[in-house]
Amino acid sequence: MLALWLTPLRLECALEQGKVTLLVRAGPVRASLLPRRRDPIKDAEKTGERDLDRLLRRLPPAPVLGILARQGFGAVRGLAPYVRVRQLRLAYRAGGPDPYGAALSYARAGAAMQALAARFPQAELTASADMTGGPGAVAGRVCLAVRTGNAVCAAAAFGSGFLREYFRYKKTEG
C-alpha cells in the first residue's frame, strides 16, 4: 500500500500543430485523456446542437460555478508545493500580416519566457519572429509529476467541498 501511495503520477501535455495530447501515467499504466477515442457510429447518430443544449441546461448557475471554481483552485494551490516539473519545452513563433504586431508579440513572448526560465532553469524555451507575413505557431510539452498520495489528498479535499456545494444547489433547485 505504501508503494502505491508513493508511486509518481505523471501528467504529460503536448501541443503540436494545433493538436493537444494529454496523458496520465502511474508506474507502468498509461491512460490517454485527450484526444478522446470516439465511436463513429454514435457520433453519426448524435447532433452537436442537441448535446450542447442538453449540457447548457444541466449546468448550475454562475454563482455556483464560481464557488466550485474557487474550491478547485484552492485544491490545486494545496497540491502545488508537491508537484515537480520534469520537462518543460516551449517554442513560439510570432507572425502575421502586420510586422509591428509580430514584433510586439515576439517581445511579449520573450519577456514571458524569461520569467519562465528564471522559475524553471531546466526548461527549453525558444522564441522567434517571422516578419515575412507567415502565420504564428506555438508548440510545447510539459511533464508534471506528483506522488499519488498527494494527488488523492487534493482530490478528496476538492471532492468533499464540491459534493457539499452540489447537494446544496440541488436542494435549493428543487
Instruction: Using pLDDT thresholds of 50, 70 and 90, give the confidence band for residue 50.
Output: low
Distance of CA 122 to the CA centre of its chain: 21
- The average pLDDT across 47-71 equals 65
> Does residue 149 have a pLDDT over 80?
yes
- What percent of the chain clears pLDDT 90, i.e. is strictly above it? 0
> Does residue 46 have a pLDDT over 60?
no
Three-class HEC string of 6-36:
HCEEEEEEEEECCEEEEEEEECCEEEEEECC
> Does residue 146 have a pLDDT over 60?
yes
